Every structure is written in C-alpha cells, then in structure tokens.
Amino acid sequence: MKSYSLRAAAVGVALLMAMAGSAMADTKDYEFQLLDKDVKAGAAVIAVKLVHKPSGRAIADAVIFAKRIDMGPDGMEMMTAPIEAVSSTEPGVYKFKTDLGMAGDWALTLGAKVQGETGTVEDKLILKAVQ
C-alpha cells in the first residue's frame, strides 16, 4: 500500500512539473524561419515557418497580425512593398504575397500570437530579391 502511494505521488509531482514547464514557455522560444532566402524580384510568394525552438515543431495555429516588408538592410527603409497573407496547405507554414520592386536585400517583419502563450512573437527575416 505504501509503495502505491509513493508511486502516485511521484507521478503527480512529475505531472505538475511538466505542466509548470509548459506554462513557463516564453515567446522567445519561437522563431520564424524563411523557407527560401532568395526570391525573384517582382511578384513573389514568401513562405516562412513558425517553429517552437526547444521542440523543433512547427506551430500551425498562430495568428499573424503584423507584417511589413522593406529594403532596410540596403539602407532604404522607406522602400516598402505591399504584402498580404495567402493560404498555405502545410501546417506551420505561412505564406505572403508581395511585389518586390527591385533586386536587393529585403526585411520581412512579422508579429504573431501563439495560442496558449502570453506576449507576441516578433521576428525580422532578411531575404534577397534576385533578377
């Protein structure tokens, strides 16, 4: 009887620790990753994956609410392009349609809410538009 109580207590403690660990996740545990660092200048679709860094798993249910693309890496922050989300069939992959007016380095800035997390995941990715 005593070993059963100790085993149940150990399982309970392990469950509480696991729950506390997942509740303590931080938005810094997530990052966006470019699927292609080079895209054609002009009309383009940019694909990114949102990843939970500690586990490596893709996050499929995030809400992307902030997005901007500009030529800041080439010293032309005021040079922006329109950007809009488009559907993706891959879980954890988010796609954006844009029109990159010229070749060069572009910064894609994204903000997202991940279900169950407080705070905002923010990331800036650098990609190259090529002719």
pLDDT per residue as tens digits for the range 78-121: 999 999 999 999 999 999 999 999 999 999 999 999 999 999 99
CATH superfamily of the domain spanning 26-130: Immunoglobulins (2.60.40.10)
Identify any residues that bridge with 58 across adjacent strands, giving them in sequence order. 51
Query: Mean pLDDT for the chain?
Result: 86
**Residue 66 confidence class, pLDDT cut points 50, 70, 90:** confident
Residue 14 pLDDT exceeds 90: no
Rounded-to-integer distance, Cα 23 and Cα 21, Å: 5
Question: Is the pLDDT higher at 17 or at 59?
Answer: 59
Measure the CA angle with vertex 112, ends 111 and 116; round to 5°: 150
Confidence at residue 11, expressed as pLDDT on a 0 to 100 scale: 42
Q: How many CB atoms lie within 10 A of CB 120?
A: 13
